[in-house]
Amino acid sequence: MKLLYSRNPNPRLAVATARHLQAPVEYEFAAPLAPGQAARYRPLNPALRLPILVYDDGRSLWEADAIACRLSREAGSSFWRSGADEPAMIQWLSWGKQNFVRACDMVRFEYVTKQRYGLGPVDAGEVQKGLELFAESAALLEEQLSGRPWLLEDGMSYADFRMASFLPHHEQAGLPLDDHPALRAWYARIEALPAWSDPFAGLDAPELPPVAREA
């Protein structure tokens, strides 16, 4: 199998997952939105987004969560829970995408993505909305993580990686992790994993443009 990736958050999540699982995949940097590349990648993902997992028979699977599920099963790992434990993991995936992950993405987009690609000034209103949602969702996570090290009671799972998927640039985005000690300690445990801290080590992964400071 071949994992097509870039350095953006969801492809980064897929690469970190694959490396954490020591999945038997070949890694290939891709840029489906680059000029002249759409025809090549559209059969693999009609949305022209990464990550994409290409099977040996040419079929493909896209979306980071689906890829994590497949790679975990390939590796015989419980990182993606199955059976009776799966609903609890999916609970956090579902809640996170609409709450904590969304909040992190909203703020990160204004302070990091827009400034990196020259997409306009920071929208203070959007930042405020994102920070309000961050405060609300971080408080819930703080309560949960004060009593255990990971989101699930029986140990680390893919839910932890997904929940953290937009945190690698939390300092640039100004996300107030330090206001939530249990949440900050949880993310420190994830950051300590080599597959997470440097998922692109040894791979062909051109650096993203620098984040420009607002004038």
Q: Per-residue pLDDT for 163 more than 70?
A: yes
Residues 42, 48: Cα–Cα separation, whole Å: 6
Query: For residue 214, what pLDDT band results from cuts at 50, 70 and 90?
Result: low
pLDDT (0 to 100) of residue 114: 94
pLDDT of 159 reads 98
Closest CA to 176 of 167, 189, 164: 167
CATH number of 2-75: 3.40.30.10
CATH fold group of domain 83-197: Glutathione S-transferase Yfyf (Class Pi); Chain A, domain 2 (1.20.1050)
Whether residue 51 has a cis bond before it, omega within 30° of 0: yes
- Which strands form 52-54's sheet, in the order they lie side by side? 26-29, 2-5, 52-54, 60-62
Q: Is residue 25 a contact partner of residue 1, using CB atoms and an 8 Å limit?
A: yes
pLDDT at 79: 98
pLDDT at 213 over 90: no
Return mean pLDDT, the chain: 96
- Confidence class of residue 135 from pLDDT cuts 50, 70 and 90? very high
What pLDDT score was predicted for residue 212? 80
Share of the chain above pLDDT 90, in %: 95
Q: Which residue shows structure tokens 């490396």? A: 19
Q: What distances in angstroms separate CA 119 from CA 112, 122, 149, one per listed residue? A: 10, 9, 38
- Cα angle 183, 189, 191 (rounded to 5 degrees) comes to 100
Closest alpha carbon to 5 in 45, 36, 43: 45
* Rounded CA separation 70/55 (Å): 11
Residue 130 — very low, low, confident or very high, per pLDDT cuts 50/70/90?
very high
Partners of 52 in beta bridges: 4, 62
**CA dist list (Å): 3 to 101, 110, 153, 167:** 23, 29, 30, 22
What confidence score (pLDDT) does residue 215 get? 45
Residue 47 clears pLDDT 90, i.e. is over it: yes
pLDDT of residue 209: 87
| The two three-digit tokens of residue 150, written as one number | 């990971």
* Residue 45 confidence (pLDDT) above 80: yes
Reduce the DSSP state of residue 109 to 3 states and report it.
helix
Give the domain ranges of the chain. 2-75, 83-197
- Across the range 132-159, mean pLDDT stands at 97
pLDDT at 109: 96
Decide if pLDDT at 181 tops 90: yes
Domains 2-75 and 83-197 fall in the same CATH topology: no
**Per-residue pLDDT tens digits for 71-128:** 999 999 999 999 999 999 999 999 999 999 999 999 999 999 999 999 999 999 999 9
**Average pLDDT over every residue of 55-76:** 97
Dihedral, 40, 41, 42, 43 alpha carbons, nearest 10: 80
| Cα dihedral 91, 191, 106, 3 in deg (nearest 10) | -80
